[in-house]
Structure 1
Amino acid sequence: MYWLAHGLVGSVADAEDVTQETFLTAWRKLPELQLAGDSLLPWLVTICRFQCANRVRRLRRDRERAAGTVDETLPDTVDVTELVIGRDLAERIVGAVAGMSALDREIFRLCAAEGHAYQAAAQQLGVGHGVVRNRLSRIRMRLRTELGTESA
């Protein structure tokens, strides 16, 4: 039984455990046993194969759980300074944009905030492509000047 188990599970320790579990299970099921022939070997082999399958499933499940305990999506550290500066800059941009004309606010919203292409924004606003491109360029330059940053 040991060599069969070793061939199926691949490690000495697991094969020893499976062999022990096989004979323990056989001992428990012995009163229910109804032999089709004179040998116990096919019955023991079947029990051993099921024990090996259970062991392999348990090992695979344990490995998957162990691998899943670390959440790779979370950053290792959080830079609080960067978060505060980012929020402060965003608030300053919102304040600066609020002081612009209605058309400039809409161009900024569509192109800079929502990511529309010049042509799509122009069609939505009923103006020409060049108007959107030129105004957005001026808006960005104005924001860089007012906010003193290259991020706008």
Structure 2
Amino acid sequence: MSPHIERDDAALVAQAASGSEHAFRELYRAYVRPVYWIAHGLVGNAADAEDVTQETFLVAWRKLPGFELAGDSLLPWLATVCRFQAANRIRRQKRDREHTAAAADDALPAAVDVEQQVIDGELAERILQEVAGLSALDRDIFRLCTAQGYGYQAAADELGVAHGVVRNRLSRIRTRLRTVVKEST
């Protein structure tokens, strides 16, 4: 199995906190997509979501020295940083619109819904708990296909299993996670 299949966030965080750009790149590659989608859900458009994602990782790079990972995944902390960055962006844009008397952009939420953020955070935590309960192979399939964007065949090649194994297991994983999402709403 290749080294990035068994990624150890705690070790990567410690290395990145000591200045390892390689370790930080590994963390970035592992979490950029989920952070982007969290940002997109909060700010409502791709351009702002990209900016919030980059701001999130910039803050993470600056705050990693002295940071201690609680748990196995850096994602909950990154999601929190992302929510703060999105809220700051939304406030700044609202202030700018008020100061320039520009027309309001209906696509951009006027305020951050704190209750919705709490629900989103709880849902993300439930999904992470559900993923943690998967077998090692299923966790690897989930991470490669959803977080890192691998196609079925690329994930199969990486894991040394058949294409059908990845397709069928990912389908079951998605069904399981949809159940978690439905139960949370």
Q: Normalising to structure 1: TM-score of the pair?
A: 0.47
Name the larger-Rg structure. Answer: 1
Greater relative contact order structure (CA < 8 Å, 6+ sep): 2
Q: Normalising to structure 2: TM-score of the pair?
A: 0.39
